[in-house]
Structure 1
Amino acid sequence: MRERRQRPCVLVFAGHDPSGGAGIQADIEAISAQGAHALPIVTALTVQDNNRVQAVYPVDAGVMGEQFEMLLDRIPIAAIKLGIVGSIENAQLIAQCVNRLQARQPAIPVIVDPVLGSGGGDALSIQDALLAVQPVLHCATLITPNLPELGRLVSGTDSDDVKAKKLTAQFACDVLLKGGHGATREFMSEVINHWFEWQQEQQVASLARSWIWPRISDAFHGTGCTLAAAIAARLALGESVGTSLTVAQSYVQRCLEQAYVVAPGQLIPARYFGKTLNKEIV
């Protein structure tokens, strides 16, 4: 009998986007493209297209809990990716689920994409998104904010680097600060992402590495979901944090280079292109 290879699984809590560009569909595609398998639990149904969000309807927390219980004792989970929570109640339920997994697997990676609004600035929670996301931030091993999200997560007039270090220390986890929104005159042709690492023994946050990528001038739908999901999948495959961040960013860059059109407005990252990525983009 033919032996079947087992894929590592990534548990995903995220919202559903009917345009197929962001949210849980983006997560599933990105995770699958790395050679891992997504276990998707939908947190919210949204009314949106590839440009704007009109409404958000959180899924009942009890249903989400039942889905988690069904998976917990039957399928090994190698990593967790968290997107929009939809409501404070859902965030609290998700945090409880993650805490249970962390009690069993203290080293399980938990990637939180702190989506505080759509790319067009529309709300993605029925309550204040900053308040709603707090329970899951406390579960994170890596948070992936963009510059506007960082500004909401850490208030004040400090530089972005100082804010990122504060965020790292506040939640005792690593931070990947995405520079895609930093299109100043100085950075019109490039995107710079910074990895801030939490050093538990020294209780200090430090800049571990930076990456510079050519800036692609188009607007895209679902880039943050794609990156966070790809990182989670690489970690589920057993790669180190540094390698996972590098490979996932390279993957997203190719997704954006080959993005496609579904309607006027934001492009959709092409999350599948040719062969699997393990040997292509390192």
Structure 2
Amino acid sequence: MSMADGAGRGERRGGERRAAVLVFAGVDPSGGAGLAADLQAVAAQGAHALTVVTALTAQDNDRVHAVEPVAAELLLRQAEALIGKIAIAAVKIGIPGSAANARAIAGLIERLRRLQPQLPVVLDPVLASGHGDLLSRDDAVLALAPLLPLATLLTPNGPEARALTGQTTPGAQAAALRARGCGHVLLTGGHDDDGDVVVNRWYGAGREQLWRWPRLAGQFHGSGCTLASACAGLLAQGLTMERALQRAQQYCQHALADAYAIADGQRMPRR
């Protein structure tokens, strides 16, 4: 084979270009949540995750033992190295790690939107682990304040929606969140006591839609990261909000149904 033949084949193999999702989240050493989950879930939708570290954590598949946010200056250097060269098709935000990091991320999004007003931003408002371990050095609810008005899509579970709004019913929670600037809210029902069914509720511009999914036995590590990142990966490729939500939920349901164990406790979604 000549060098010319090899170069030609290399060009064909490398000809695909994927939409890039700028992801802000923490590092989970267990590989089940945070950036590890985000990267896998985005890739599974056919997009590519650009992973900006917001915090280092000490955690296993059940508990978070320590969180150390990165400095806001380092967060900015990570992101700016990426956006200086790579077109950003969507943004996904997990834990900011600190209020300073949240403000830095908000500033970056505002800059990106000057050139891309319709840039999709998916915010997974993670306030604590499944066992209630805190994931921010600051008050997590207050830290998210500058990011809420920038969210195209917010994906809180029941406890997160109550903490963010003080409201107890899904309709009131969604109304309060949308009043703060969130374009769309997907309230996930995995933490609700609804028997054998999980109800997810989408509240958008003048509409509400429900999805019902069979409740799966056990607990899962990084399920919220998986869903939000799948949404971001699909929105990055131009899907409508309704189609992205439908496909992301289907993907997440299958990943949880086929989850595997690495130890006792929460299982890992097969992303």
CA distance in 2, matches of 1:166, 1:139: 15
Question: Alignment partner for residue 167 of structure 1, among 177, 201, 205?
Answer: 177
CA distance in 2, matches of 1:244, 1:80: 14
Partner of residue 261, structure 1: 261
Answering whether residue 153 of structure 2 is matched by residue 142 of structure 1, we say yes
CA distance in 2, matches of 1:151, 1:172: 16
Q: What's the offset of the Cα at 1:64?
A: 1.2
Question: Alignment partner for residue 195 of structure 2, among 188, 195, 208?
Answer: 188
- Which has the larger Rg? 2
Give the share of equivalent positions with the same residue, in percent. 49
Q: What's the offset of the Cα at 1:20?
A: 0.5
Partner of residue 117, structure 1: 128
Partner of residue 30, structure 2: 19
Give the match's secondary structure for 1:27. helix
Question: Alignment partner for residue 87 of structure 1, among 98, 102, 105?
Answer: 98
Tell me if the contact between 2:153 and 2:182 (Cα under 8 Å) persists in the aligned partners.
Answer: no
Q: What's the offset of the Cα at 1:46?
A: 0.5
Tell me if the contact between 1:194 and 1:207 (Cα under 8 Å) persists in the aligned partners.
Answer: no
Question: Alignment partner for residue 179 of structure 1, among 189, 198, 215?
Answer: 189
Structure 1 residue runs of 5 or longer lacking an equivalent are 200-205, 272-282
Partner of residue 241, structure 1: 241
Partner of residue 276, structure 1: none
CA distance in 2, matches of 1:51, 1:57: 18
Partner of residue 60, structure 1: 71
Give the match's secondary structure for 1:135. coil
Q: What's the offset of the Cα at 1:160?
A: 2.1
The C-alpha deviation readout for 1:132-185, integer Å capped at 9, x for no partner, is 1111112111100000000001114x52222212212222411000011112xx
Partner of residue 230, structure 1: 230
* TM superposition score normalised by structure 1: 0.90
CA distance in 1, matches of 2:40, 2:182: 30
Give the aligned residue type for 1:165.
Answer: A
* TM superposition score normalised by structure 2: 0.94
Q: What's the offset of the Cα at 1:11?
A: 0.2
The C-alpha deviation readout for 1:202-250, integer Å capped at 9, x for no partner, is xxxx443110000002100100000000000000111100000000000
Greater alpha carbon shift after TM alignment, 111-120 vs 131-140? 131-140
Partner of residue 41, structure 1: 52
CA distance in 2, matches of 1:207, 1:146: 19
CA distance in 1, matches of 2:87, 2:180: 30
CA distance in 2, matches of 1:128, 1:169: 21
Give the match's secondary structure for 1:101. helix
Partner of residue 211, structure 1: 211
Give the match's secondary structure for 1:166. helix
After TM superposition, the runs of 4+ consecutive aligned structure 1 residues lying more than 3 A away are none
Aligned pairs, how many? 260
The C-alpha deviation readout for 1:28-85, integer Å capped at 9, x for no partner, is 0000111100000000001110101111000111111111111112101100000001
Tell me if the contact between 1:84 and 1:115 (Cα under 8 Å) persists in the aligned partners.
Answer: yes
Give the match's secondary structure for 2:52. strand
Give the aligned residue type for 2:47.
Answer: A
Tell me if the contact between 1:102 and 1:108 (Cα under 8 Å) persists in the aligned partners.
Answer: yes
CA distance in 2, matches of 1:230, 1:34: 6
CA distance in 1, matches of 2:78, 2:172: 39
Give the aligned residue type for 2:181.
Answer: F
